[in-house]
Amino acid sequence: MKHIKRRERESSEIRRKIIEAARSLFLNQGYAEVSMRKIADQIEYSPTTIYHYFANKEAVVRELLLEGNTLFLQALQQREQEGRAAGLNALDMLKTVSDAYVRFGTANPEYYNILFISNLESVSLVSLFDSGRFKGFELLEAGLKAAMEEGCIIQGDVRLIARSVWSMLHGLTSLLLNFEFPMAKSNDELIAFTIDTFLRGLSR
Amino acid sequence: MKHIKRRERESSEIRRKIIEAARSLFLNQGYAEVSMRKIADQIEYSPTTIYHYFANKEAVVRELLLEGNTLFLQALQQREQEGRAAGLNALDMLKTVSDAYVRFGTANPEYYNILFISNLESVSLVSLFDSGRFKGFELLEAGLKAAMEEGCIIQGDVRLIARSVWSMLHGLTSLLLNFEFPMAKSNDELIAFTIDTFLRGLSR
Amino acid sequence: MKHIKRRERESSEIRRKIIEAARSLFLNQGYAEVSMRKIADQIEYSPTTIYHYFANKEAVVRELLLEGNTLFLQALQQREQEGRAAGLNALDMLKTVSDAYVRFGTANPEYYNILFISNLESVSLVSLFDSGRFKGFELLEAGLKAAMEEGCIIQGDVRLIARSVWSMLHGLTSLLLNFEFPMAKSNDELIAFTIDTFLRGLSR
Amino acid sequence: MKHIKRRERESSEIRRKIIEAARSLFLNQGYAEVSMRKIADQIEYSPTTIYHYFANKEAVVRELLLEGNTLFLQALQQREQEGRAAGLNALDMLKTVSDAYVRFGTANPEYYNILFISNLESVSLVSLFDSGRFKGFELLEAGLKAAMEEGCIIQGDVRLIARSVWSMLHGLTSLLLNFEFPMAKSNDELIAFTIDTFLRGLSR
DNA sequence: AATGAATGAGTATTCATTCAT
DNA sequence: AATGAATGAATACTCATTCAT
């Protein structure tokens, strides 16, 4: 193991297969079902092989977490840039980024689960502040600050408000993922309505 | 099992110990960590003894779920009645019941987890519509309908709006339970701010 | 327990229920499925109650064995007497008693299993020579002796021949019980053919 | 499991130890007593190790069953060829193959039990018609057909007669295995006498 | 680079049985 | 006469992991 350059190991094809298998198990069967042996079976390697690429199960899950973070941030940032390119005002920016948040969650349930729902104590080593969820949070805080400066929302403690917005977005996403039930209206309408309502509440 | 008198069994002290141990494990370590053996260890009885009181693990968890439902509903209804007694208008009723929801969750994290976060597929036998979470939902719909009639909130699809409110409350609660991080303001302020903001968004 | 007269205990209604439940479990699910708890469940008493009537599981099974013996012997003897009443000759007597043997087995699979197939080591305490199967065997030996004296079958070691006949009857019965498979002819024909053929082989 | 080379696994020494231990438990204590733990104890490995070689308990027993089938058939076929080489007539062929059947059973009680006595419902996956007992049965049917054509036994439904012969052989074997009791004559004499008598009954 | 071998600890559940009442 | 309480030992099976090769 020692003579292999870190780079090569990390970009190994098997390494990718491993975390893809883990992700798929996570998605289809839940965290409890992600076992080293099941991953190994899925990629048709021996369980031992996994230990060649990851120190232990936690490391696999952590990788998944990091990957999810990256993709999550990318999704938010891309929509932000699109908004900026379209010349949106601060309020509409908030709206579009909020929408991006929920879309990411519903489109990538396995990642959203890993990031925000499963209480991965075993992975809490990844300290909260390293974790990309807080980069996403900073992005949100920045957006709110801008909106305050533009005068389109109320003045107030930015962190408090950001957390409040996040709560609304998280609740929306996680109920969509876990408790769908019959509604006359579509999920899209629910998403739009909830975000709009909350932001209207914030507006001056 | 039929030969045992139900009454005596259900009021047994050990029975209580069992579900309390289960509840505590649930709270501290998550569903996956609730094992019959661990429960037994905690109450200092043999694992077999648990089977004297519950048919299997699912029965233990189901009991916990039912208990949580009952307490949750009671909490909401009590606050509703207090509000009614205090002669609150429809909007303030919504506010107070919303507050009760979040308070229940933060005060009873183990129950809130069982009810709304852990995806207890194994216990899904307790059909969704019997389950108290939907009684709570009906209570919310009724409150919204009243507020619409009083003209203090916008007109709209009651079910959609109820789900929207629930999303906000659930997000608030579950982030409080799982992701506390430093804020200048207190959790109480966050709760009040979030509920107020959302309801302001709903107001005419 | 001590103050109860043996007679009463043995004729108790619950005692009967217990062994009937055991018999039914034996029949429907096989020996491995006869458990004290299952018996108790079936009769709707507590498992402990069974120990009021039987020292342990072995005692229950032993009782079943004794009962099977009795019934088995009765079946053979009744047919013998009927044959005698009908004035059958020695060879026809052998035939009719042989038929009775197989009929008993196929009509009472649970008893036949207990008596001759399940290797109830735990019950082997009931010494072979007390066991009624040997009374049945004596009956067979007597029949053969009579047939020899009448000159309708070959002379020979009676015990050897009796064991030989028994082998044929047991094979017939136990394959009927455990390995039915498609045949153009009926089981009745198979039984008659096998007994006839064997006895023809014995005839002079 | 797919990632392990089948060849190496199947020829493993431990694999052999496992099934030998299982066979011995089967013989000495009956099917119900074959437990993974007991096998492990006997070979002085951990129970987990067994799962390295067999998917589950059923797989162990199935292997035993298949092995028994193979050996059983080989025993019958070998004697048949010897008979053919010796130029035996059809009736003597029946005799010698019958003898081979009983010899196999008494020489390999554990296999005979697995094949014809224990009711291995759990292993019934191995469909009856694949199973060697039916290949053995076909061999018997063929022998009878030949004997009919040679005119040395009565004409009749071959399947019925084959089943009848099988019954006799099975009864002989299984009583020899399970109920030995004092006789002046030897088991060999019993076997020869029973087979001869039955076949005499079949002769013209 | 990959894996076969091996395991200790754990999972839910069932069993026959004892004992005090 | 009947049972509630309790248990130690067993069941099949899964898990993450280590180690020598």
Domains and CATH numbers, chain A: 1-54 (1.10.10.60), 61-202 (1.10.357.10)
Under 8 Å CB pairs connecting chains A and D tally to 9
- With a cut of 70, say whether residue A39 has pLDDT above it: yes
Across the interface, which of B116, B173, B198 has its CB nearest the CB of A201?
A: B198
pLDDT (0 to 100) of residue B92:
97
Q: Minimum mean pLDDT among A165-179, C60-74, D126-140: which range?
A: D126-140
Q: What is the DSSP letter of B113?
A: I
Q: Are B98 and B202 in contact (CB under 8 A)?
A: no
Q: Do D167 and C171 touch (CB under 8 A)?
A: yes
What pLDDT, on the 0 to 100 scale, is given for residue A23?
A: 93
Q: C46-56: string of b/e by CB count within 10 Å (b at 16+)?
A: beebbbebbee
B5 Cα distance to chain centroid: 30
Chains touching chain A, criterion 3+ CB pairs below 8 Å: B, D
Asked if the model's pLDDT at residue A133 lies above 80, the reply is no
Determine the pLDDT at residue D119.
67
Look up residue C58 and give its amino acid.
Answer: E
Of D178, D58, D55, D64, nearest in space to D132 by CA: D64
pLDDT of the residue at C2: 42
Indicate the pLDDT class of residue C6, thresholds 50, 70 and 90. low
**What does the mean pLDDT of chain A come to?**
88
CB distance from B1 to chain C under 8 Å? yes
Higher pLDDT, B128 or D109: D109
User: Rounded mean pLDDT of chain D?
Assistant: 89
Q: How far is CA D106 from the centre of its chain?
A: 10
pLDDT of residue B125: 42
> What 3-state class would DSSP assign to D153?
strand
Provide the pLDDT for residue D181.
Answer: 77
Q: Do C and B count as touching (3 or more CB pairs closer than 8 A)?
A: yes
> Which amino acid does the sequence have at C135?
K
Say whether A44 and D1 touch across the interface (CB within 8 A): no
Chains B, C: CB contacts within 8 A come to 9
Residue with tokens 């034996």: C26
Q: Which two tokens stand for residue B133?
A: 């979470």
SS (H, E, C) chain C: CCCCCHHHHHHCHHHHHHHHHHHHHHHHHCHHHCCHHHHHHHHCCCHHHHHHHCCCHHHHHHHHHHHHHHHHHHHHHHHHHHHHHCCCCHHHHHHHHHHHHHHHHHHCHHHHHHHHHCCCHHHCCCCCCCCHHHHHHHHHHHHHHHHHHHCCECCCCHHHHHHHHHHHHHHHHHHHHHCCCCCCCCHHHHHHHHHHHHHHHHEC
Q: How many Å lie between the alpha carbon of C50 and the closest alpha carbon of chain B?
A: 13
List the pLDDT tens digit at each of the 204 positions of chain B: 434 444 455 668 999 999 999 999 988 888 888 999 999 999 999 999 999 999 999 999 999 988 998 999 999 999 999 999 999 999 999 999 999 999 999 999 999 988 888 766 545 544 544 566 678 899 999 999 999 999 999 999 999 999 999 999 999 999 999 887 788 999 999 999 999 999 999 998
Q: How many residues does chain B have?
A: 204
Residues 6+ apart with CB under 8 A from B8: none
Chain C, 22 to 41: residues with Cβ < 8 Å from chain B are 40-41
| B residues 117-156 lying closer than 8 A (beta carbon) to A | 117, 119, 128, 156
Q: Which bases in strand E are touched by protein, i.e. have an atom under 7 Å from a CB?
A: 1-20
Instruction: Report whether pLDDT(C173) > 80.
Output: yes
In the block, residue with structure tokens 């394959």: C175
Q: Looking at residue D4, what DSSP letter applies?
A: S
pLDDT at A130: 58
| Distant-in-sequence, close-in-space partners of B69: CB < 8 Å, separation ≥ 6 | B115, B131, B132, B133, B135
Nucleotides of F under 7 A from a protein CB: 1-20
Task: State yes or no: pLDDT of C24 exceeds 70.
Answer: yes
Chains A and D touch (3+ CB pairs under 8 A): yes
The separation, in Å, between residue C121 CA and nucleotide E7 C1' comes to 35
Residues of chain C found within 8 Å of residue D200, distances taken between Cβ atoms: 200-201
Please give the nucleotide, over all strands, whose C1' is closest to the CA of residue A55. Answer: F17
- pLDDT bucket at A6, cuts 50 / 70 / 90: low
Q: How far is CA D158 from the centre of its chain?
A: 22
In angstroms, how far is E20 C1' from C131 CA?
38
Residue in chain C lying closest to D31 (CA): C32
Is A162 buried (19+), middle (13-18) or exposed (0-12) by CB count in 10 A? buried
Q: With beta carbons less than 8 A apart as the criterion, state whether B160 and A184 touch.
A: yes
Hey, are the CB atoms on C40 and B3 less than 8 Å from each other?
yes
Q: Which two tokens stand for residue D161?
A: 């007669």
pLDDT > 60? residue D62: yes
Burial of C199 from C-beta contacts in 10 A (0-12 / 13-18 / 19+): buried
- Measured between beta carbons, which residues in chain A are less than 8 angstroms from residue D3? 40-41, 44-46
Which of A31, A116, A183 comes nearest B163 by C-beta?
A183
**% of chain C surpassing 90 pLDDT:** 70
Better-predicted residue by pLDDT, A29 or A71: A71
- Across the range A55-61, mean pLDDT stands at 93
**Mean pLDDT calculated for residue range D160-186:** 93
Is the Cβ of C44 closer than 8 Å to some Cβ of chain B? yes
- Model confidence band, residue D142 (pLDDT cutoffs 50, 70, 90): very high
CB-facing half-sphere around the CA of A126: CA atoms within 13 A: 23
